Amino acid sequence: MFALMLAAVLSFPATVLGQAKPTAKTATAAQARAFIEKAEKRLKELSIQYAQADWVSQNFITDDTAALSADANKNLIAATTEFATQATRFDGLKLPADVARKLLLLKLSLTLPAPKNDAERSELANLVVSMQGDYGKGKYCPDGDQNKRLDLGALSRILAESRDPKQLLDAWRGWHAIAPPMRQRYTRFVELANKGARELGFADSGAMWRAKYDMPPDAFAREVDRLWLQVKPLYDALHAHVRAKLREKYGADVVPENGPIPAHLLGNMWAQQWGNIYPLVSPPEQEKTFDLTEILKARKTDEKEMVRIGERFFTSLGFAPLPQTFWERSLFAKPRDRDVVCHASAWSIDFKEDLRLKMCIEITEEDFQTIHHELGHNFYQRAYNKQPVLFQDSANDGFHEAVGDSVALSITPEYLKQIGLIEKVPGVEGDLGYLMKIALDKVAFLPEVRPAEYNKAWWELRKKYQGVAPPVARSEAEFDPGAKYHVAANVPYTRYFLAHILQFQMFRAMCREAGYTGPLHRCTIYNNKAAGAKLNKMLEMGLSRPWPEALEALTGEKQIDARAMLDYFAPLKAWLDEQNKGRKVGW
C-alpha cells in the first residue's frame, strides 16, 4: 500500500524564507509563479530529508530513529502550514492554468494538517511516529510467556490457517491488545489535526480529505454513496453465502443465522479480505487445480525472485527495468535482528529514480499478488517523475491503489502458464472457484469503513456496512481501530474503496486495448505493448490534470463506474443467488 511516508513526501511543501508577502490587491501572476517555483524547490529538499529519515525509522525502529523522523516530519508540517496559508494571497487572480492548479493542490495537499503553534506541531509529529513505532513493534505473548512472542505476521498466519475458533479468538484478541495504549495519544492526535484543519478553513480533517477529489466534498460523498449502491447487491450475496458456510463449519453457537459474522472467523486480522477461508466457502463441485504457494515453494523461489517476476510483468508491457539502486536499497525479507514496519509499501525517495519496496515477503500466493500491486506504485512513481513536484502523484489517491490492483487482476492462470509456473490452464469448469477466490478479497473489502472512529462507533459502522461484529464484548477501554495500520499511520482510507472500483474499469480498458474479447476474468495483459502504452499515457500525467481526464486517457470514460466490476463477477453473482435461495440476505 502507498506508504504514509510517500503521502507526506508528496503532501508537505516547505517554507520560503525572506519572501515578500504581497496583499491580494498588489499580488501579480508573476509573483504567484515565483512563489510556487520556490515552494517546489524547497519542497523537494525537505521531502527527501523526511523520506530518508522515515525510511530509517521504519527499518530500524529505535527511539533515536523515531526522533529523527519526527523532527524531519515536523519541519515539513510547519512549512506546509505556512505555505498553504501564504497561497491564499493569490486567490482571485487570473493565473496560468498550471500555476492555478499548483496553488490549489498546495492548499489541499496536507494529509496531516498541523496547528500553527510550533509546540503543537512538534507534538503532532511525535505522536504520529510513536504510534507507527508501537504498531511496528507490536507483539502478543500467549499465556504471558515472553518466550512465545508473536508478531503480526505470526498472528496473521494463525487467522489464515487455523480452523480452531478458540485459537482464532486468542490470536485476534492478542493483536488487538496492542492498541489500547495508543488511545490517549490518538485522541490528542485527532484534536491537533482537526485544529490544524480548522485553521486552514475546513470543518475538520475529514472534510479536508474529502475536498481533494476535484469536486466539492458533499458531491464527492454522494459519488461514493452512488458507487456503494451499485456494488452492494454483490457484497450482500457474498456475505450471505459466507455466513451460511461458516455456520455449517463452526455451528450455531459461534455464527448467527441472520446476524453479522464474527470478525475472527474470516481469515484476516481485520476481516476485510476473506481469501484465506476459500476452502470453507468454495463451490463444492470445483476441484482444486493448483496451489501457487506450493508451486513457488517447490521451486525454491526466494524473496528477490518473487520481485523479479513482478518486474518482468511490467517490462513485458514495455516499461524499462527498475534501477539497480532499487535492488540494493529495498527491504524484501524481515530481518532476524530487529523490528521493522512490515506493512508493504512502495517508496519514491528523490522524485526521480530512487525507488524502493519495503516488504517482509513470504513465499505465498498472497504476497506474489501483493508484489505485483506494490510494483504498480513504483512504476507509476517513475512514469510521472518528469512532472513538477506538485504534480508527482496519482490523479487522485485511489488511482495509485487501482493501478497496482488492475495489474494484479492479470495474475490469471493464463499468465501463470505463460511464465511457466503452471503447465495447463484449467478449463471453464473452474471459473466459479477462481471468481470466488478473487471475490473473497476484492468484494469483501468494499465496505471497509473509514478507520477514524472510536470503539463504539467503529463497530457500529462495521456492522452497518460490513455485516461484521466483534467476536467478544468490547468496551471503550479498548481501541480496536488502532490495531489497523492506517489508523496508527494516519492514511486516508477512501482511496481503497475507490481503487477497488477503478481497478476493474482500468483492467477492462486495458484488455480491450489488447484486443481481448473473452470473459473479463480470464484476461491478462501480460506481454502486450499496446495495453502498456495506453496505461503509461495515463501514468505520465500524474496529478497534472483533474482525475476525470486521467481516467478518460486510459478508459475513454470520465466517471467512475462499477459496471466493469459487476461484469467481471457476473457468473459468480448468478451462482450465489442460487445458493442463497431460502437464506436471509443482509443482517
pLDDT tens, residue by residue, 299-338: 999 999 999 999 999 999 999 999 999 999 999 999 998 8
Closest Cα to residue 333, out of 153, 76, 456?
153
Q: Is the dihedral of CA 111, 565, 257, 265 positive or negative?
A: negative
What the block records as the C-alpha cell of 543 is 496529478
pLDDT at residue number 168: 94
H-run or E-run covering 262: strand 261-262
What the block records as the C-alpha cell of 524 is 491478462
List residues bridging with 140 in a β-sheet.
Answer: 150
> φ and ψ at 358, to 5 degrees?
-120, 115
Closest Cα to residue 305, out of 332, 324, 335, 329?
332
One-letter-per-residue 3-state SS of 341-366:
CCCCEEEECCCCCCEEEECCCCCCHH
User: What mean pLDDT do residues 487-503 have?
Assistant: 76
pLDDT at residue number 20: 41
What the block records as the C-alpha cell of 92 is 482571485
Residue labelled with grid coordinates 470520465: 558
Q: Which of 5-19, 105-119, 461-475, 535-549 has the lowest mean pLDDT?
A: 5-19
Percent of the chain with pLDDT over 70: 90
What the block records as the C-alpha cell of 284 is 463444492
What the block records as the C-alpha cell of 328 is 540494493
Q: Which residues contact 221 (CB under 8 A, 6 or more apart)?
A: 210
Distance separating alpha carbons of residues 370 and 484, to the nearest angstrom? 18
What the block records as the C-alpha cell of 208 is 479536508
Q: Which residue has the higher pLDDT, 222 or 577?
A: 577
Distance separating alpha carbons of residues 372 and 307, to the nearest angstrom? 8
CA angle, residues 577, 582, 587, in degrees to nearest 5: 80
What the block records as the C-alpha cell of 582 is 431460502
Is the CB of residue 469 less than 8 Å from the CB of residue 262?
yes
Name the DSSP class of 2.
B
List residues bridging with 2 in a β-sheet.
Answer: 346
Distance separating alpha carbons of residues 128 and 62, to the nearest angstrom? 14
User: What mean pLDDT do residues 101-110 have?
Assistant: 85
**What number of other Cβ atoms are within 10 A of residue 518's Cβ?**
9
Is the CB of residue 113 less than 8 Å from the CB of residue 197?
yes
Point out the residues that are catalytic: 374, 486
pLDDT one-digit tens code per residue, 539-569: 999 999 999 999 999 999 999 999 999 999 9
Do the strands 468-469 and 261-262 form a parallel or antiparallel pair, or are they unpaired?
parallel
Chain centroid to CA 420: 30
Is the CB of residue 115 less than 8 Å from the CB of residue 188?
no
In this model, does residue 250 exceed pLDDT 60? yes
Q: Which of 231-245, 387-401, 465-479 has the lowest mean pLDDT?
A: 465-479
pLDDT one-digit tens code per residue, 54-87: 999 999 999 899 899 989 988 887 787 788 888 8
546-571 burial string, b = 16+ CB within 10 Å, else e? bbbebbebbbeeeebbbebbeebbeb
Closest Cα to residue 510, out of 547, 535, 542?
535
pLDDT at residue number 490: 59
Q: Which residues contact 195 (CB under 8 A, 6 or more apart)?
A: 115, 120
Distance separating alpha carbons of residues 562 and 507, to the nearest angstrom? 12
Closest Cα to residue 1, out of 270, 189, 198?
270
Distance separating alpha carbons of residues 42 and 17, to the nearest angstrom? 10
**What number of other Cβ atoms are within 10 A of residue 283's Cβ?**
18
pLDDT one-digit tens code per residue, 284-298: 766 557 889 999 999
List residues bridging with 358 in a β-sheet.
Answer: 331, 345
pLDDT at residue number 8: 35
User: What mean pLDDT do residues 153-161 have?
Assistant: 91
pLDDT one-digit tens code per residue, 126-152: 888 888 888 888 888 887 777 788 988
End-to-end CA separation in angstroms for the chain: 31
Is the CB of residue 140 less than 8 Å from the CB of residue 155?
yes
Query: Average pLDDT, whole number, for the chain?
Result: 86
Burial of 166 (0-12, 13-18, 19+ CB in 10 A): exposed
pLDDT at residue number 484: 66
Q: Which residue has the higher pLDDT, 281 or 197?
A: 281
pLDDT at residue number 398: 87
Q: Is the dihedral of CA 377, 14, 494, 140 positive or negative?
A: positive
